[in-house]
Each structure stands twice: as C-alpha cells, then as structure tokens.
Structure 1
Amino acid sequence: MNCIELMMDEHQNIKRMLEIIRKYCKRILDGENVHYEDFYKIIDFIRNYADRHHHGKEEQLLFTKMTDELGPTAEKLIKYGMNVEHDLGRLYVQELETAVKRVLDGDMDARLDVIANAISYTHLLNRHIDKEDNVVYKYAQNKLSKETMNRLEQECLAFEQKAKMDKIQDKYLALLSEFETR
C-alpha cells in the first residue's frame, strides 16, 4: 500500500469515528443516557489519530511537497483549502471539549453545544475527506514528479514505523472497535 492509499485507508477509519459521533449525538437528542466521559475518548481519537497522525502526514509530508513543487495552484488549494479545514476541525473539537466539560459540571444546556460542535465536525470532515480522496490526492499523484513521490513514500514509511513503535494505530483502531461493539 503506497502513502496515498494508506491515507485513504485512514480516511475510512476516521469516517467510522464520524458515524460513532453521530450515534452519540442522536442518543443525546433522543434523551437517552449518554456517558459524556466517552466524548473524551472520541476527542483523543480525533486529536491523536485523525489530526496528529493522519493530518500530520498530510501537513508535514504531502502538502509541503505539493506547495514546494507545484506552485501557486497547489499553494492555494492547500493553504486556503485543506489547512483552513484542518484548523476549523480543531476549533470544533476544542469547543466540543469545552461543552462536554460544561455538561459534566451540570450545565445541561451545554448538550446543545456538544451536538452542534460534534455534528459540525462530522459534516466538515466528511466533505473534507471527499475533497482529499477525489481531488487533492489525485492532483498530487498526477502532478508530483516520480522522484518526489518516491521521497514521499520513504518519509511516509518512516512516519508509519515510528507510529507503530508508539502503538498509535493499534490503540486507535482498538478504540474504534470498542465503540462499534457498544
């Protein structure tokens, strides 16, 4: 599996978490008992798997190569598109964390903020993943030089090996399975 295929595979794992988030929000909406502490595990997955691990590869490896080699078009796509969306996702997660804390502190009105930020994050990420899979990654594969793609593969492999040593993939894929079996 090459680096682009790996990132697309990670997108599928992220989408699995987006479905879990939606289910939690639906349970809140339906007035069911929700363990709000579970949102901290969800936030951990988002920050460490989706953002630090997955977006880390994009921002540190792929996107820098695209902006360096492909000029203004790639720079606009990355700087004003993908990176802005990554930052907006981080804002939603920060606000989600604040809202969860407020609920746990007894502010039941903050449930609305939990739903609003969680669902906004899921909508953003679903659209974002579609753009990356169908536009950004294809653009990179078609336009980056063979030498750059080879360098990307080597750097991606090193990134993944370090993550495997830190058991990032194992931890967060197990967390997904745990949530999906509830």
Structure 2
Amino acid sequence: MKSIEIMVNEHENIRRMLKVVRGLSYQVMTLGEFHIEDVDKIIDFIRTYADRHHHGKEEDILFKTMNEKIDRLRKAGSITGMYIEHDLGRLYMTDLEAAVKDYNEGSDEARLDIIANAIGYANLLERHIEKENMAMYRFAETMLEDEDKKYIEKEAEKIEIEAKEKGLQEKYIKLLERLEEKYLK
C-alpha cells in the first residue's frame, strides 16, 4: 500500500527529529549551548507534521478502518493501544510547552521538565513507531479487504495532495535539517 509506504517514510523523519530531541536534551542537561526557541520549533514539528499530518492519517483513516473491519484487532485492544500512545505523546508535548514557559519566566529548574518530557516523548515514539511498522501496518496490508485498502489509499492521497499544496512536507523537512545541523554534531 502506497499510503503505508508514505507513513513508514514519515516515521523515518519523525525518528530523525527524535534524535534532535535527544541532542537538544543533552545540551540542556550539560548546560551546553541550546536555544529555547528550538524547543518551540520541535513542538511545532511534532504537533503539525507528526501528530496532525501523520497521526491524523493513522487515526482518522487507517486505524478507524482497521477498527471497523478487523474484529480480532478491535477485540484485542490493539488499535485502542495505538490511540492511547498518541494521546500520551500529546500530553508530553503539552507538558513540554509548559516547561518552556516556566524556563522563559526564569525557572532554571524547568530544565528538568524540559528534559523529562522531551526524552519521555522520544522513548515513547521510538517504541510506538516500531509497533506500527512491524505489526499494525502489516496487519492492515494482510488483513484488510481490497475495497478497504482502496478507501484508505484514496483518503490518504487527498491528505497528501493538500499537504503538498500547503508545502507542509517541505517546510518541516527543512526545519528538521536545520535542527539536525545544530544538535547532531
């Protein structure tokens, strides 16, 4: 499925950002050079590229279809688990944003919350991506009927076209590359 291939490629970009998150967290921990505005840029990447764009396709199209059409997965709670992990990632981002606010208001102790939430998110997403790539996507390709796959392909393509028209991928890949240059030495 082309849509799944695209989502796997998006996972690779998200994993690249997770490395940036670790690099920046290390700088925060060691009192090295970092720019707090870069944390805001990371949050924007995660909320827009990873969550709205990527997770949006998973939740609203792929997982929804799988939940409706594959009784075995629905009954086992597999898809619900994916939704829960997405929500936990969103909580980490909300808490990271609050930590940045506290840091900007003068709390040096907020460094702990920046690191904790950034690393918590990175660790969660590494494991989450592996489950999706190795299990959920394979289940979709092998367990869904052809008509369901066609529906997923059609709906995902609409989202890709809209994102391309808005320059979403280009914007966030360029941001990712700039942050990699700063924090992955």
Separation in 2, partners of 1:33, 1:113: 18
Deviations 1:7-28 (A, max 9, x none): 0000000000000000000011
Deviation at 1:29, TM superposition (A): 1.3
Deviations 1:25-66 (A, max 9, x none): 001111113211110000000000000000000001101110
Deviations 1:142-179 (A, max 9, x none): 10001111111111111100111111111101101111
Q: Tell me the residue number matched to 1:130.
A: 130
Select between 148-157 and 55-64 the one with higher mean Cα deviation: 148-157
Question: Which AA in structure 1 matches 2:175?
Answer: L
Q: Tell me the residue number matched to 1:69.
A: 69
In the alignment, structure 2 segments of 5+ residues that lack a partner are none
Q: Tell me the residue number matched to 1:162.
A: 162
Q: How does 1:42-61 map to 2 (within 5 A)?
A: 42-61=42-61
Question: Which AA in structure 2 matches 1:78?
Answer: I
Separation in 2, partners of 1:30, 1:108: 13
Separation in 1, partners of 2:33, 2:102: 17
Question: Which AA in structure 1 matches 2:34?
Answer: V
User: Structure 1 residue runs of 4+, over 2 Å off?
Assistant: 72-75
Q: Tell me the residue number matched to 2:119.
A: 119
**SS of the residue 1:181 aligns to:** helix
Separation in 2, partners of 1:140, 1:66: 7
- Aligned length, in residue pairs: 181
Separation in 2, partners of 1:12, 1:101: 29
Q: Tell me the residue number matched to 1:78.
A: 79
Deviations 1:67-108 (A, max 9, x none): 1111252351111x1000000000000000000111111000
Select between 151-160 and 89-98 the one with higher mean Cα deviation: 151-160
Question: Which AA in structure 1 matches 2:134?
Answer: N
Q: Tell me the residue number matched to 2:171.
A: 171
**SS of the residue 2:36 aligns to:** coil
What is the aligned-residue identity percentage?
47
Select between 139-148 and 70-79 the one with higher mean Cα deviation: 70-79
Normalising by structure 1, report the TM-score: 0.97
For the aligned residue pairs, the C-alpha RMSD in angstroms reads: 1.1
Residue 35 of structure 2 is aligned to residue 21 of structure 1: no
In the alignment, structure 1 segments of 5+ residues that lack a partner are none
Select between 65-74 and 13-22 the one with higher mean Cα deviation: 65-74
Normalising by structure 2, report the TM-score: 0.95
Separation in 2, partners of 1:34, 1:106: 16
Select between 30-39 and 57-66 the one with higher mean Cα deviation: 30-39
Deviation at 1:109, TM superposition (A): 0.4
Question: Which AA in structure 2 matches 1:37?
Answer: E
